[in-house]
Structure formats: structure tokens, C-alpha cells
Chains A and B, each alone.
Chain A
Amino acid sequence: MQALAAAIEAARPRVVAALAARFRDLDLAEDAFADASVAALSAWTQEPPRDPAAWLWRAAFRKALDAIRRRAVRDRTAFDTPEPEPTPEEALMAADAPIPDERLRLIFVCCHPAIAADVRAALTLKVVCGLTTERLARAFLVAEPAMLQRITRAKRKIAAAGVPFEIPGPAAWPDRLEAVLATLEIAYAQAYEDAALAGDAAAFAPEVLRLSGLLAELTPAEPEALGLAALVRFAEARRPARLDDTGAMVPPEAQDIGLWRHDLIDDGARLLDRAAGLRRSGPYQLMAAIHAVHAARRESGATAWSDIVALYEALLVVRPSPIAAVNRAVALGEAQGGEAGLAALAAIPEPARLAGWRPYQAARAGLLAKAGRPAEAAEALRAALALSPAPAERLFLERRLAQLTD
């Protein structure tokens, strides 16, 4: 049973995408695939057929045609509508042809800028990966009816506004690709936050790993697509080492190299090399490169902090953010000493707002301790602890505080 379900899930993206592209209707594609899956579970009594995707494609194609025919009959009672396209004969011939690979088209449809940014990630995970609305609602912290409504509204807009089931043309390509990459980044951020991968976004990590790999494979000349795929691989590689036995957070430079997933690091490095060969830098490549420097500790035995400082500086030029500025200061502290890091931290604009921001207080605590100012470091740690850290970070900060005040 588990093998059958796994075979169905593995076939889903390709079959749903082909159906959606063929019939230009996301709901029809999802419903037909669901019907075909039910049929498969009773037809495949022991084990899946040799080519489960082809079986599901043929079955779902027929289900979709049935649905169109039923819809046409229903509509004809009210209006005098013409025969639906395609005719059943033509369509059955099409179903016998190999499954066209329309996955990239489907990703572009779900990540269209005409859909609100926060809905794109949920819609992509729903339509392309088949995650349930219930699971998405829990992961994105909304009630299930609200999530269902968002997804329904997005699908309705795609149909009504005429969002094309096409790969965008050259003029729209950069914007559209960026929207796709940002969508995958949002989905992955949900999974990354949950270090133990025990929560509601647990299913996102393998899906984003798969989707980003697929995108890199389908757009091999896009360095940022390769960069994002590398980034996700490097980050996932370190997941088993991110928490210690007590559940406390472990920073990258202190992680046990033996726990890292070296296969993913190798994949990430290969993708990043290919991206670099295309000679167009960008934020995802830079973020992946920062991970790559951390990962390189497995060969060199030490973290090359000055490289990390340089990469954060490049990142701050193309994509400025408070977290990148804070991380640069921390890296500078490691490379040149606590006072240098504190000076960099002090140079970040809007100190009043930063004071109430946990990553800033945590970074400041580390730099103050490094600079030999334990009393101030303890004060910063207390400030960070008061800003409701997640349990893993709380344990980490509490331990640091205990070490300082011993």
C-alpha cells in the first residue's frame, strides 16, 4: 500500500502539470488526478505497473474528459453551447502519446505575479506537490477555511484573468523567474525555521528540495535557479547537526561535521560551480556561497570568516537586509575580533528599532563576549531572551548566559 501511494505521489507533478497544460484548468487537473489515484489503488492490487505515471496519465485523461462531457451536458440544459474541445477521439489519441513535461509551465502559472505573493507558495505546494489544504493551513498559521478560500480564489483568478499556461517570453522572463524563485524561498523558509522538522512545515523541505532541483534542471542557463537549488541543498545538508542532544541550537561553525549530509553538500557544490560558470552573480548564488564556505570546514578544518564577510558585503549590495548586515558584523567579529564586529553592528542604521530585534541582541551578545565585556554580553543575552526566541534558540542563549555568569 505504501509503495503504491509513493508511486502515485512520485507521478503527481508530471501528470497534474500535463493535465493542467492540456485542459488549461487547475481544478480539473487536480480532480482528475485524484480520481485516477483512487482507481489506481484498486487496480494495482499488489504492486504498481511498470510505468505508474503513464497509467495515471491515461486514467486521469479519461476522467478529465468525462468531467468535461458532464459539464457540457449540464451547461447545455441551460444554454445552447457547442461541443467541448477536444473531441473524445482526438483526446484519447493524445493520451496514448508520452506524457509531455509541462511541470515548468505549471510552476510559472502558480507563481504568476498576478497572484498575491503570500498565496503563490501555498498554491504551488498544493497544485505541484499535492500537499493538502489542511497541512498548508497549519504550516502558514491560518485556519483551514481561510487557506481553502485563498487557494480557491487564486485558481479562480488564474482562470478568469487569463493567466497563460505558457513559459513566459523573454521580455517577462526575468520578473517571472524571480517570482518563482521567491516563492520557493518562502516555502523553504517555513521548513528551515523548524530545525527538527517535526512541525507542520515538515513536508516542505523535501518538496522544495525536489522543486528547486527540477527548476535547475529545466532552466540550466539560469544561474540564480542553480543558486537557489544549491542554497537549499547546503541548508538541508546541515539540518541533522543543527540541534544538539538537548534540543539546543548549534551554530554552523560548531556543528559536528560527521552529522552533515555530504551527498547534499556535493550536489550543492556542483550546482554552485555550474552557476558560477554562467558568470552572472545574484543573491541566491551569494547566499549559497556563504553556506559553501561553512561546508568547506569539512576539508580545511576551519571556517574562512573573511570569505564570509566578503560574501555578505556583496549580498548587501544586491539585496540589502538587516539580517545580512547583522550576519556580516558577526562574521567580521570572528575574522577580526569582537570590537571590529561591534563597530560594524553600531554602523547599521536605525539602532532604536534594532534594539527590539532578537537577532541583533543575540549577535551583540556574542560580539561583546568575544570582546571581553561579559557584563554587557549578559545584558544583551537577557534582552534577546526577553524577545521570545524559539525553544532551540532559547536553550542556546540560556546556556551562553550561564557560561557568562558562572
Chain B
Amino acid sequence: MQYMLLIYEPADAYEGAAGQAQLKDIVAKHMALAGELRAKGVQTGGSGLQGVATATTVQTRNGQQAIHDGPFAETHEHLGGYYLIDVPDLDEALAIARRVPVCDGGKVEVRPLIVH
């Protein structure tokens, strides 16, 4: 089954000098995990995302489309990146989700893909 692991972290997670140092450490861990998963043929996609300050949203309502600056919802937690993996079942997906590096307060949501 294919799953997407969505990484949510607090908006201010990597602010300041200490935050930047932690970010460097976390990125290195992502590289290591992604390298391992790709070597095993488990990872089919994934990426980190630039900050929500770079987000632009296209909204459709009553047949009209409008373009807005910013993410779709102002929340304390931001989607920071994702992994796409192909594993036999939820337990395997959860085992990988546990290994996804996040800062304190971070969350990894595991969602199965719709298969056509």
C-alpha cells in the first residue's frame, strides 16, 4: 500500500541561532533516512517544503477563483514536508513514521493513498 507521511511542525520551530542549528541536524537525518528508504525501494517520493511565507493559495468558491497570499489556513502547525512510501501495511508505515526526524512538538500524519 502507498502512504503519505505528512510532517507538521510548530511554526516557530527553527527560529533563532539554536533553531537553525537544529534544522541543520534534522535535515541531515532526513537525508540519511531518505537514502536508506530509497535504497530499500520503499520510498517513491517526498520532499521538504519551503516555509509558509512562500505559500500562495488558489481558492474556489461559488464558481469564482481567487488567489491569496499565504497558506490555506493560519495554524500554529505547518506542513513542512512529506514522504511517499510503498509498504505492505499500516504497521510498516507507522514504523517508518516513528523514524521521521521532527523537532519537539512535531507530528507525522500517516495517510493511505487512494489507489486507482
Contact = CB atoms under 8 A, between A and B. Distances in A.
Contact of A164 (B3, B89, B110, B112): B89
A161 B3 CA distance: 9
A172 B89 contact: no
Contact of A160 (B88, B94, B95, B112): B112
A380 B90 CA distance: 52
Interface in A125-140: none
Interface string B9-27: 0000000000000000000
Interface string A159-185: 011111010110110000000000000
A112 B110 CA distance: 15
B90 A161 contact: yes
Interface string B54-93: 0000000000000000000000000000000000111111
A114 interface: yes
B1 A162 contact: yes
B95 A162 contact: no
A85 to B, nearest CB: 16
A161 B93 CA distance: 10
A162 B91 CA distance: 8
A21 to B, nearest CB: 13
Contacts of A114: 90, 94
A172 B94 CA distance: 9
B89 A163 contact: yes
A183 B91 CA distance: 19
Interface in A109-164: 112, 114, 160-164
A172 B112 contact: no
Contacts, number: 30
A114 to B, nearest CB: 6
Contact of A166 (B3, B89, B93, B110): B89
Interface residues of A, number: 12
Nearest to B1: A162
B62 to A, nearest CB: 32
Contact of A169 (B3, B90, B91): B91
Interface in B92-112: 92-95, 110, 112
A111 to B, nearest CB: 13
A172 B90 contact: no
Nearest to A164: B89
A164 B95 contact: no
Nearest to B87: A162
Given A161-B112, A162-B1, A168 B90 contact: no
Contacts of A161: 90, 110, 112
Contact of B95 (A163, A166, A171): A171
B92 to A, nearest CB: 8
Contacts of A160: 112
Contacts of B92: 164
Contacts of B95: 171-172
A168 B112 contact: no
A166 B94 CA distance: 14
B42 to A, nearest CB: 14
A311 to B, nearest CB: 34
Interface in A300-314: none
Contacts of B94: 114, 172
Interface in B7-54: none
A164 B95 CA distance: 13
Contacts of B89: 162-164, 166
Interface of B: 1, 3, 88-95, 110, 112
In the A-B complex, the 3 residue pairs with the smallest Cβ-Cβ separation, listed nearest first, are A164-B89, A162-B1, A162-B90
Given A163-B91, A164-B91, A171-B95, 19 more contacts: A112-B90, A114-B90, A114-B94, A161-B110, A161-B112, A162-B1, A162-B88, A162-B90, A163-B89, A163-B90, A164-B88, A164-B89, A164-B90, A164-B92, A166-B89, A166-B91, A168-B91, A169-B91, A172-B95
